[in-house]
Amino acid sequence: MSQDVEDIKPSYPLFREQEYRDTLANKRDNFEEKHPQEKIDEVFQWTTTEEYKELNFQREALTVNPAKACQPLGSVLCSLGFENTMPYVHGSQGCVAYFRTYFNRHFKEPISCVSDSMTEDAAVFGGQQNMKDGLENCMKVYKPDMIAVSTTCMAEVIGDDLNAFINNSKNEGHVPQDYPVPFAHTPSFVGSHTTGWDNMFEGIIRYFTLNYMEDKEVGSNGQINIVPGFETYLGNYRVIKRMLNEMDVPFKLLSDPEEVLDTPADGQFRMYSGGTTQDEVRDAPNAKDTLLLQAWQLVKTEKFVRNTWKHEAPRINIPMGLEWTDEFLMKVSEISGQPIPDSLAKERGRLVDMMTDSHAWMHGKKFALWGDPDFVMGMSKFLMELGAEPTHILCHNANKRWKKAMEAILATSPYGSNSEVHLGKDLWHMRSLVFTNKPDFMIGNSYGKFIQRDTLYKGEEHEVPLIRIGFPIFDRHHLHRQTTMGYEGAMQMLTTLVNAVLERLDDETRGMQTTDYNYDLVR
């Protein structure tokens, strides 16, 4: 089809032109094993039934649309949080291309990451030579101050020894002996992206502190360490810094990718920007204590901080919503000795005012949600604070202890009495849940849009709208700059949630002379 240069059409209207419709129909009729539409609709309707749900939940050896990603993705994000550090993945180019494009599409930013391009020969004979050449090339071409190494499935299946490979690379002069090359084994076939973040972070702090603890003294630098975990809302890094600065608390954010994932368009390319320095990592054991913002995903980090740094690392909940932000600030105040300032008290009061204003619209609304363990727990807690009901809670990458803790939190509120917690399930399970026990809304990442589309296909009365809070968000712009933590994050989430409720109400009441008796100007 020829196009007019003065009226270039984007793909959406272009593919609705009759010529494209005819082409696609011809493809279906002549080149696809086409089933009758009646059969397709019959099977579709069956997949929305209770019978199918029971069969679906018996599924064991197949994952359909996972609600998690693989370990190296998390290790790359963790590495990006350190100053002048290049994430290096020991594996194939395809894996690294996936990690980079995954973050590209979410952050709308260039993502620096390299691999040592393992291929068939390395899969048979091992990837040591790839490691030697790769480290040398990375150091010379990209000039990082540190290379943080993780692995893919191929390297883990054949048993490549990162410690030996890196030491041999140094002994043979490919990189200097004193050049920092921390590493972590991150097999994709176990755990998830949060496990990879935890493994990489523990590998980095182990590299810089494990054998250098003789002159360390807990509390000697007067600071608090903050460990964010796998966190993709850049506003959360900023809000934590702002709150602690307002409290006048000395702190260090360990792994801070805020700047490198949000560089300005000012004509200067920044391969590296901001991040935690090596000296700050070396000094971290001298802090008063370490707070893990997402403790459910930081298992190895917690163990290392307690056993090696001798920090208490008190267990805290993710600072989302009203009560858990209160607890976070009170814990910071307790450790630092600094009072909570009036500015944060006023901010809290504004959140309470917003919750009161919106309570009538949020009360009793039912939500299905999925995501990482700490996020799902914090979001469920906040929904109950708003008077909403988290009816379907799904976490693909949590453990049984998390499920028990989640159920205990739900038991503290009447709004959690009808909730179900689903562990190790995927988004095809979530699809069955929203068809057989319809919530009002879903909260999750962009992949939920396909569930919304399916519910609408069954009929408008079955549609479950998606509210995009989580990771990844590919099909909307700039949401990664928002905030979910602190009072500020609670305000932003409440604004998103209540306006989604009101937008849905408008959709349902705009029928001219049929439903518009409730199409009100003031809500």
Exposed/middle/buried for residue 423 (C-beta within 10 Å: 0-12, 13-18, 19+): middle
369 near 443, Cβ under 8 Å?
yes
Q: How many Å separate Cα 219 from the centre of its chain?
A: 32
The residues, any chain, with a CB within 8 Å of residue 163's CB and separated by 6 or more, are 183
Bridge partners of 38? Answer: none
Task: Indicate which residue of 43, 64, 141, 157 is catalytic.
Answer: 157
- What DSSP state is assigned to residue 147? E
How far apart are alpha carbons 508 and 89 in whole angstroms? 50
Q: Which of 94, 99, 174, 95 is nearest to 131 (CA)?
A: 174
Two structure tokens written together for 252: 């260090």
Task: Indicate which residue of 153, 249, 332, 352 is catalytic.
Answer: 153
How far apart are alpha carbons 34 and 36 in whole angstroms? 7
Bridge partners of 467? Answer: 443
198 near 297, Cβ under 8 Å?
yes
Residues 349-372 as b or e (16 or more Cβ within 10 Å = b): eebeebbeebeebbeebbbbbbbb
376 near 369, Cβ under 8 Å?
yes
Strands, E, within 328-465: which ranges?
A: 366-370, 389-395, 420-423, 441-444
The residues, any chain, with a CB within 8 Å of residue 458's CB and separated by 6 or more, are 44, 45, 48, 435
- What DSSP state is assigned to residue 308? T
- Asked if 138 is an active-site residue, the reply is no
How far apart are alpha carbons 270 and 268 in whole angstroms? 6
How far apart are alpha carbons 238 and 486 in whole angstroms? 10
Beta-carbon-side half-sphere exposure of residue 113 (alpha carbons within 13 Å): 34
Q: Which residue is it, tokens 């068939």? A: 120
Q: How many Å separate Cα 46 from the centre of its chain?
A: 33
How far apart are alpha carbons 20 and 151 in whole angstroms? 44
The residues, any chain, with a CB within 8 Å of residue 447's CB and separated by 6 or more, are 65, 67, 427
Q: Which residue is it, tokens 């396909």? A: 450
Residue type, 222: G
77 near 229, Cβ under 8 Å?
no
How far apart are alpha carbons 272 and 252 in whole angstroms? 19
Catalytic residues: 153, 157
